[in-house]
Amino acid sequence: MMKTQKRARVILHRYLRQLATLCGLTLLSTMVSAQQLEVPADVLASQAKRVAAIKKASASTVMVFANEGKGGGSGVLISPDGYALSNYHVVQPAGTAMKCAINDGELYDAILVSIDPVGDVALIKLLGRDDFPYAKLEDSDQVRVGDWCFAVGNPFLLATDFNPTVTYGIVSGVHRYQYPAGTLLEYADCIQTDASINPGNSGGPLYNENGDLIGINGRGSFEKRGRVNVGVGYAISINQIKHFMGFLHSGRILDHATLGATVSTDEKGGVIVTNISESSDAFRRGLRYGDQLLSFGGRNITTVNGFKNVLGIYPRGWRVPLSFLHEGERIDTFVRLTGVHSPEELLARVQPNRQQRPAPMPDSEDPETPEEPMQPKPAKPASPELPAVVQPFYAARRGFANFHFNRLNQNRVWDAYTQQTKPETAKGDWVLRGKLGNLGDATITLTKTRVDAELPQGKAFAVLDNDLGQQESPRGSGGLLVALHLWKHIQQTGITQFGDVYYLGSMPTPKHKEKQDVLVATHSVIECRFYFSPSTGLLTSMEMFPDLGVDPCEIYFSEYESVNGRMLPRRLEIHHGDTVYGELNIEDFEFNIGERTE
């Protein structure tokens, strides 16, 4: 009897397994216990890993709710002090302040920090904690088609209980480029996935199978009438956002970059320059009509689509490596990228005429909107009646989403520098003595009214009461003496009295792979850019632009030494355009306070 029952159970188990296979169903645990089926250990381990990854990732996912019930979407925390990424088109209708929730069950006030309207990215800051759970930013260039991934967010604003929705899938495409299609937004180098991304998922995270952040969901293709995801969603790659991260902390309204040239494919399949602006830095670096692009930003360029992809991931103002063939000769150089829009054009696009009827938001339920591209609603102005809790975190200034955060970073960078260099003790005239490379002795005297230099090539001077932009001595330096004056002047006046100063963000230089913090300072119509190391706090380089559309005088500061408690650079390397003017090795600093160091 017992043998018959055992045989019957075996037959029943076999039948149920076959049925499950045919129907694509998992056997119900209520019908057959785990002890009887003996699930393989690797299957259980894989399941446990997936559950743990989703739990970790869900904790950093943000549900964004616009005030007064005017929509919302998703976001993701990226730091313990509450900074979170979302989409521009999600936060823009909310204005300056909004409510956000995470799955701890709490609702938090949040403030807008900065926006990238071209790339459809926004940075916000949740208030009230300094120990938020946050996501790890992965290297999205390592993402491959077929990788498992999952999207977490607030589709259709369902997460009223503050628990996000999770959808699972695979990466179905990488390095996707989509044209702006008449809108401000441009999606470049994005990740395509079949994980369901629906209206409300916008701004939320796309994680890899380990629960690490690889992208920000923002765009999807939808069935024409039902606004239902059809398995084609797009995420902005996290590597693109990493390029913009320092800029996003600046509180500015950001623009993307252009090379100043158009390209097409020739009959041999090469990517060829078809037009180029003579005012572009690329033109000054030697790029001409008919030249073939070989690499840009470290990527080989083999198609027009590939070039647009890599160009679209950089902010305005970055310097990027470029290689091209000119008359059969390979040229490797760095180019400064200009903006896609002029500052006034960008402001006009971000804040259009309110009397114009805006196109529907992608997270709306308009049945006539079959798919993205997306067109944001007009900006909601910052209300003077902001909630009391967010008022200390907001400052208005034209061209900025929130000038409060720009001021924070200005002070952070400048304070780190002056604590080590103590410029308040170096007032009055300066004298720098040393050698200009192997050419011989050099002495440069900086006074209030002029700069005089005794160089191996001869004497040079700059009269500071005259137009600074017209004085580029010594010859070939691009204005070294004026640049040194402005270096001295900002240290003696500080950033509050130098002129118009703002924090640009962070970016690498041709000599520094580590992103440098950048302060832009304008004095007497001369723009300077000062680059500071975030790890040391010291000034690593500066650029002085005597005029628009010309190469600046670049000075790289290095070999800092502590001299009487003050960190001073011993080596200055001067560049102008593609040439190195020289290296000034400083042996002696003299200041008017009677202090002499050797």
**Which residues participate in catalysis according to the annotation?**
89, 120, 202
- On the 0-12 / 13-18 / 19+ scale of CB atoms within 10 A, 418 is middle
- On the 0-12 / 13-18 / 19+ scale of CB atoms within 10 A, 321 is middle
Provide long-range contacts, Cβ within 8 A and 24+ apart, for 488-497. Answer: 488/430, 488/446, 489/523, 490/521, 490/523, 490/528, 490/530, 491/418, 491/421, 491/423, 491/426, 492/423, 492/426, 492/427, 494/414, 494/418, 494/423, 495/410, 495/414, 495/519, 495/521
Q: Please name the amino acid found at residue 505.
A: G
H-helix or E-strand containing 444? strand 441-446
Output phi, psi for 118, to 5 deg: -70, -45
Output phi, psi for 488, to 5 deg: -65, -40
CA dihedral (370, 375, 381, 385) in degrees, to 10, reads 30
Report helix, strand or coil for 121: strand
> What CA–CA distance (Å, rounded) separates 241 from 139?
11
The region, left, alpha or beta by phi > 0 then psi within -120 to 50, assigned to residue 211 is left
Among all chains, which residue has been given the structure tokens 């997270």?
Answer: 363
Report helix, strand or coil for 101: strand
Cα 513 to its chain centre, rounded Å, is 15
**What's the per-residue H, E or C state across 349-393?**
HHCCCCCCCCCCCCCCCCCCCCECCCCCCCCCCCCCCCCCCCHHH
Helices (H), 86-134: 88-91
Q: Please name the amino acid found at residue 251.
A: G
Query: Residue 541 pairs with which residues in a beta bridge?
Result: 531, 556
